[in-house]
Structure 1
Amino acid sequence: MKTETIAAIATGMSNSGIGIVRISGDQAFEVIDRIYRNKKGQAGTLWDAKSHTAHYGYIYDGDERIDEVLVLIMRGPNSYTAEDTVEIDCHGGIRMVQRILETVLHNGARTAQPGEFTKRAFLNGRLDLAQAEAVAELIHASNDYALKSSVSQLGGSVSGKIRALRGTILYETAFIESALDDPEHISLEGYGDRLLKVLEPVTEEIEKLIASADDGRVMTEGVRTVILGKPNAGKSSLMNVLLGEERAIVTDIAGTTRDTLEEHINLQGISLHVVDTAGIRDTEDVVEKIGVNRAMKAAKGADLIIYVADGSRPLDESDREIMELIHDKKAIVLLNKTDLELTVDKEALEEQCGHRVIPISAKEEHGIGDLEKEIQSMFYHGEIAFNDQVYITNARHKEALEAALRSLRMVRSSVLDGMPEDFYSIDLADAYEQLGLILGEAVDDDVVNEIFSKFCMGK
């Protein structure tokens, strides 16, 4: 089936050393032959060029030479899209790359939609849907863990695991159907007990994958973190230390921070979306009161609360209000201002708040390493490794796994309730189908289009 030839800029829209314009489709070589001339000025030299070769020459728009380029030739199916593909490496000025794309479009290509190159890779069987989604996550990875996870998924870690699970389920479904069609030669005597033993490791693996989604979300989205404390506890100083720059205003005046301040911080490969808040206290100041209310609201939706206690002042009602708020939440308590004489006892504070207390001095930058290690241990279940462990980082995948797990539990219930074997096969088939959605089998076109619409242009 013939496909339209598409083109787009595949590099970022900023001035750089190199820019890339990508072309893919049945007429990719015809398009490049219309605009490329080699160093001798000859046109039409690329239509029979060997795949995966680079060619030095120039791009022309009619008789006007536009730029000196390298052209890469990749013949389908041995290309990213599994189609004939051409990449033009040109000088990376924004206007230059746009000018070359315009020339390509004037000579037979159309503008690619967001994610259309990867969508074609999926439709042509070059990638399954889980791998295609990993491409988008790879591009948007904001920390080392997210990067490694995306590379692992692109290499087929999730897909391989799902295919193995589906293979087991398919075999049992086929056995039941065969036995029902030919009861004289295939017996189902005692089959229910055997099926439960077969499905037990399958169910455990799916449960393990679902449980990994918490770590997966933290990898890709980061930890929603709120810093709480009463005025002058050192919240803004801590924020500045974590950022490595003077971002938050720090003074000796209580109530300096009157609104939330949000920043993205990377700590030892972990992304934190940190919100510095107004000091928690009773106040008659209307603006400050709004800030306090926003702080409390932010804390309720946080993955992690960092409570900064001022160790140089006795605990008061504001501290007790914060301790009540963090009682059943993931929280780290920092006993700040250890560079001064402390009036708050670490062990007593731990007993009151119910959380581990880490002594720090935001001013002297002491104890920050202990804080980083504590965050890492709280949000990752053990040491992160990408050899055998698979992490689910996609909400769509988690939803499909949960649906498959429900179906397998229905199979177990049917066996224990003594139901006929055809009941088993119905739920087994549903589990098989739900897992297939992760790979892109039987996925609605609207879902596919929605997934790829979130990709960047040129990918």
Structure 2
Amino acid sequence: MYLRDTIAAISTPIGEGGISIIRISGPDCLSIADRIFRRSRDGGLKSHRFYYGVIFDPDSAAILDEAMVVLMRGPNSFTREDVLELHCHGGYLVVRRILALVLRQGARLADPGEFTKRAFLNGRIDLVQAEAIMDIIHSKSEMSLNLAQHQREGLLSRQLFQLKEYLLSSLAFLEAFIDFPEEDIDVSAKEHIGQNIDSSLLMLDELLSGFSEGRIIREGVSVVIAGKPNVGKSSLLNALLQEKRAIVTAIPGTTRDLIEEQMTINGLPVKLLDTAGIRESDDHVEKEGVKLSLEKLSSADLVLFVVDASSSFSAEDQSILERLSGFSFMVVKNKSDIDGSYVLPFEPELPVLSLSTHTGHGLVDLQQAIFDFFIHLPDHDSREFVAISQVRHRDALTGCRNALANFKDNLDREVNLDLLAIDLRDALDSLGAVTGETTADDVLDRIFQQFCIGK
């Protein structure tokens, strides 16, 4: 929890810019404004209106900057406290001077994420929405931004609230019979509880099934380009990025280090890694590059196994294929513009793509195949798209589901009603850990410490 003090921080990136914003939240906002801000016209500050004037040091009367100031009276503010924002010129020195002035007036420097934490503790948002704000800030693509916005707007929270209502209704029925032990739980009550639990399990299964895609949308994926030397791995990287990022020559073994670049495919964040050609070599530097390549295979979400369609499947290809055992890989037949008769001596599990990095033929199909490998949910940009995307949410909902599965089994075995109630309370505790109702303080601290100062 926190003291009812006043906090302040710079809420815009440090550096040169047109405008910087210093945010202040707490009971001393108005008194601070009265001491350091002078309007261009006489009068006080009304809530939610911008005023032009100057910020000055009351001790020396020196003017620090001209500014626009807005006071937002609680509870109609982000934190549900009084909030004051000072919009001054962007610049490292002037912003630091104004912040120091605010701190001298009695505010303290905010901890990372403390404004959002106060919004959570004051009931304006739940923990899911608070975490979504951080995801919005760190979004890498339109798809991850849409997912974060939907969570911030409360689409996921509303589903979790419906789950909570099912569980509370069932617990209320149980406790009514616990309070009157002389009465056995009747058939209609048992059916009502059973329907609530079945509906809850169905909702939980749907949410949990979307975790893989939700995590991928939020965090992105890692795709490694692998193959023997001189099959066009670096050319493929350049073609996908649409820029000359890697050196391409006819000399085998040109790439000796990892080249990592970010791109998006249909809104999906993708980290592309071009690796050294995998082969036996006496060159010490090339050997180190091959070693790095093999290490990256184990951490890749998908491997693009590039082969030369203008030649036959070689012993080097076979050696790489054996190293890919157990990994998800997609065969990419490059140089298909030279010879399209290349035949693989094995049956791949994933689609085989033929393309030419020289002409660009097949690149669109490859990008779509990569996207389809990871994403299966329809209408990702729709207003109703909801998915869990954090491991913390998945683990808590899994705990909720396990408790409900135990409850259903115990209900069928007609165990003691008090034990059944314990199962339901365990499920509610796990559900509350997602929204923040039952989240431990140390967990809350870890979550908000990931925020930047000023948010």
TM range (shorter): over 0.9
Aligned to 1:404: 400
Q: Is the 8 A contact 2:147 2:387 kept in 1?
A: yes
Distance 1:238 1:95 in 2: 46
Are 2:172 and 1:179 aligned? no
Aligned to 1:452: 448
Aligned to 1:202: 200
RMSD, aligned CA: 1.9
Are 2:9 and 1:30 aligned? no
Counterpart secondary structure, 1:56 = strand
Distance 2:52 2:136 in 1: 31
Counterpart secondary structure, 1:19 = strand
128, 133, 136: which one aligns with 1:135: 133
Unaligned runs of 5+ in 1: none
Distance 1:353 1:326 in 2: 11
**Pairing 1:344-383 to 2, within 5 Å after superposition:** 344-345=342-343, 348=344, 351-383=346-378
Aligned to 2:427: 431
Are 2:98 and 1:100 aligned? yes
Distance 1:32 1:325 in 2: 66
Aligned to 2:298: 300
Aligned to 1:416: 412
Query: What is the letter of the counterpart of residue 411 of structure 1?
Result: F
Shift of 1:17: 1.4
TM-score, normalising length: structure 1 = 0.93
Shift of 1:173: 0.9
Shift of 1:25: 0.6
**Pairing 1:378-393 to 2, within 5 Å after superposition:** 378-383=373-378, 384-393=380-389
Q: Is the 8 A contact 2:146 2:381 kept in 1?
A: no
Q: Is the 8 A contact 1:178 1:186 kept in 2?
A: no
Distance verdict in 2 for CA 1:178–1:235, change over 3 Å: same
Shift of 1:279: 0.7
Q: Is the 8 A contact 1:7 1:21 kept in 2?
A: yes
Q: Is the 8 A contact 2:24 2:85 kept in 1?
A: yes
Are 2:394 and 1:394 aligned? no
Shift of 1:218: 0.7
Query: What is the letter of the counterpart of residue 376 of structure 1?
Result: F
TM-score, normalising length: structure 2 = 0.94
**Pairing 1:45-124 to 2, within 5 Å after superposition:** 45-46=43-44, 49-61=45-57, 62-124=60-122
Distance 1:156 1:421 in 2: 34
Shift of 1:270: 0.8
Distance 1:118 1:428 in 2: 31
Identity of aligned residues (%): 40
Query: What is the letter of the counterpart of residue 21 of structure 2?
Result: I
Shift of 1:183: 4.5
Q: Deviations over 1:151-205 (max 9, x none)?
A: 1111111111111101101110111111121245674346545533331121121
Query: What is the letter of the counterpart of residue 359 of structure 1?
Result: S
Q: Deviations over 1:5-31 (max 9, x none)?
A: 111111111322111111111001111
Q: Is the 8 A contact 1:141 1:147 kept in 2?
A: yes
Counterpart secondary structure, 1:407 = helix
Aligned to 1:332: 330
Q: Deviations over 1:113-159 (max 9, x none)?
A: 11010011111111111111111111001111110111111111111
Distance 2:381 2:206 in 1: 15
Aligned to 2:8: 7
Counterpart secondary structure, 2:210 = helix
Distance verdict in 2 for CA 1:186–1:354, change over 3 Å: closer
Q: Deviations over 1:31-75 (max 9, x none)?
A: 1211111124x6xx44xx221111011111232112121101100
Aligned to 2:224: 226
